[in-house]
Chain A
């Protein structure tokens, strides 16, 4: 479980702030992530977890603060910037185009083309079949728009999209919210596998038990501020809950 937190972190967010119309959605948050580490982000709805993560994925632009990736200062102003830094995101909404099939969604925005510059649909479908065989062997609906898929199947398309492109940093915003027991287990196994490959993962979830199980560290946010950032071994579930609810870190108080 323990990860060596030495060397340069994969990502370092320093003093990130973003406000929407006077409301500080994220207020001076600093957080880092090392290779092979899973960091869980916890907090109430509206605590600022998703917003913080969207700054890192380029969906929002932070008002202030710095991103350091691999020890180098990085500018993240768009989803493309983030992607170029090998940061992949699985959004809570999945961000799928419902009218397109799995392959088109997997390669959305970075479609494979033939030497003449036309779409290589056959190769995209073949690649999709390959990765889906690994992630979700039961997946068969390759020709249908993703609107025709079940919640779990849609989720696996979104996960495949993040995993396929050799991400080094993975952001998963409630990846198991729409899943059944069996599929949730598959996601947990996948997280462990990716972790062993040396990826760094930010995981957002409401399920404290699951987080204790999967994460190396948990970071708790409330009202846009980082309340605590603790190794899982050092805290109890009650500690986390009190951070989420009270907004106070019992470790610091003690």
Chain B
């Protein structure tokens, strides 16, 4: 929200060059463009490094990018909540442990308890399990928020304690044993060949997204017109719409270009009495369900942040807590709600993570808090509070995951990976500081 205003400031410099004109006409956020640039750099860099030194560029393949999208989901879901936490000048170090404890809760529930009463494979098991996981997360998060807001314990301490407590609780819940496999329907929430919506489904999602984008541009223009505010030039509107829609179409083409592996096709054909032709069947993955969950969360959180009083008040608290309180905003209650929301999102991330793993382990989500915070911060959320965007955090998660996955592909050691990720985080925040100074 604040970023869109920064664009105007930066593009105000009167040099009539093409780039400035483009930015002014499209009102595109320079930070957003920068993140796409960084992402392109990472992808191309790893691809060509692999192509030159290992003889095979594995980064820019449909298979890898599809996997990347699934791997990003769980961190991305939590990063959207972390934006609100950090914007209000707090921090949540406990999200990884929350993933662990809610994951174990759901594992026990769907494997040990529910089948006893509902029968194995009952279609309600997955939904009861997922809702319970999200609720448990919300309750623990709300409890943290209560300690922070109403008992005055710093968020850093409460959630640092929570990190240890809930990780320990996750271990104790099943004496450290892994629970596997999970409910077969639940498993679809984590992706995998069956946990996708196929080629046709992906085109439908893509078409809906394009319609939504165009509708939003038209509605925005109408609203500006109705109040007599300055309008974007038509070419600017068309460029923005065109870019966004081609991005969507590109994503659909990409996920549809990744076919099911042969083994799965054989299994599927046998189950459905299809004879596989000699040249093989091409069945597309399409979008994975966890990715759709991430998109849905991203859209809902963006609406929450930009279009509701709750979101506006979150940013007001971040900008000036005293002013927010004087304006009648109940800062304590808001803090509690924000942490409860963060907890619920950690529960949802645990659904995705444990479904993807097809098991619940007490180590689920280990170190996730660091990646989630890094994603939010790389995405432009300021630790000083008051500034941050949802899309930035999701892109930040994608950047983090791309780095990680790229280094795995070209065979870097875990130790080297850690060094790179750590350095990138620090460097990204430094760049961000420079950007902000310039924007002022």
The chain A residues found within 8 Å of chain B, CB to CB, are 57, 59, 78-80, 83, 89, 91, 93-101, 104, 108-111, 113, 117-119, 122-123, 125-126, 143-145, 148
The chain B residues found within 8 Å of chain A, CB to CB, are 2, 5, 8-9, 223-224, 226-229, 303, 306-309, 311-313, 315-316, 318-320, 322-329, 386-387, 440
**Interface residue from B8, B227, B386 paired with A98 (Cβ < 8 Å):** B386
**Interface residue from A78, A91, A97 paired with B324 (Cβ < 8 Å):** A97
**In the complex with contacts A79-B325, A97-B324, A100-B2, A118-B308 CB distance below 8 A:** yes
**In the complex with contacts A79-B328, A95-B323, A97-B386, A122-B312 CB distance below 8 A:** no
Q: B323 to A96, Cβ gap below 8 A? A: yes
Q: A79 to B229, Cβ gap below 8 A? A: no
Q: A104 to B226, Cβ gap below 8 A? A: no
Q: B316 to A97, Cβ gap below 8 A? A: yes
Q: A111 to B329, Cβ gap below 8 A? A: no
- Chain B nearest CB: distance from A92 CB in Å? 11
**In the complex with contacts A97-B315, A101-B5, A108-B324 CB distance below 8 A:** yes
Interface of chain A: mostly helix, strand, loop or mixed? loop
Interface of chain B: mostly helix, strand, loop or mixed? helix
For the complex with contacts A119-B309, A144-B9, 7 further pairs of A-B residues with Cβ separation under 8 Å are: A97-B316, A100-B316, A104-B315, A108-B327, A109-B324, A111-B309, A143-B8
A-B contact pairs, 11 of them (CB 8 A): A79-B325, A80-B328, A93-B322, A93-B323, A96-B320, A97-B319, A100-B316, A118-B303, A119-B306, A122-B226, A123-B227
- Chain B nearest CB: distance from A47 CB in Å? 21
**In the complex with contacts A78-B328, A109-B328, A99-B9 CB distance below 8 A:** no
CA separation between A95 and B326, bound complex, in Å? 7
Q: A108 to B329, Cβ gap below 8 A? A: yes
The 3 A-B pairs at the shortest CB distance, nearest first, are namely A97-B319, A109-B327, A99-B319
CA separation between A96 and B311, bound complex, in Å? 17
CA separation between A202 and B311, bound complex, in Å? 34
Using CB atoms, name the residue of chain A closest to B228.
Answer: A126
Q: Which residues of B contact A95 (CB under 8 A)?
A: 320, 322-323, 326-327
**Interface residue from B9, B224, B327, B387 paired with A79 (Cβ < 8 Å):** B327
**Interface residue from A96, A99, A110, A143 paired with B328 (Cβ < 8 Å):** A110
- Chain B nearest CB: distance from A179 CB in Å? 20
Q: A99 to B318, Cβ gap below 8 A? A: yes
Q: Which residues of A contact B322 (CB under 8 A)?
A: 93, 95
Q: Which residues of A contact B325 (CB under 8 A)?
A: 59, 79
CA separation between A110 and B308, bound complex, in Å? 12
CA separation between A97 and B318, bound complex, in Å? 8
Q: Which residues of B contact A91 (CB under 8 A)?
A: 326
Q: Which residues of B contact A111 (CB under 8 A)?
A: 309, 312
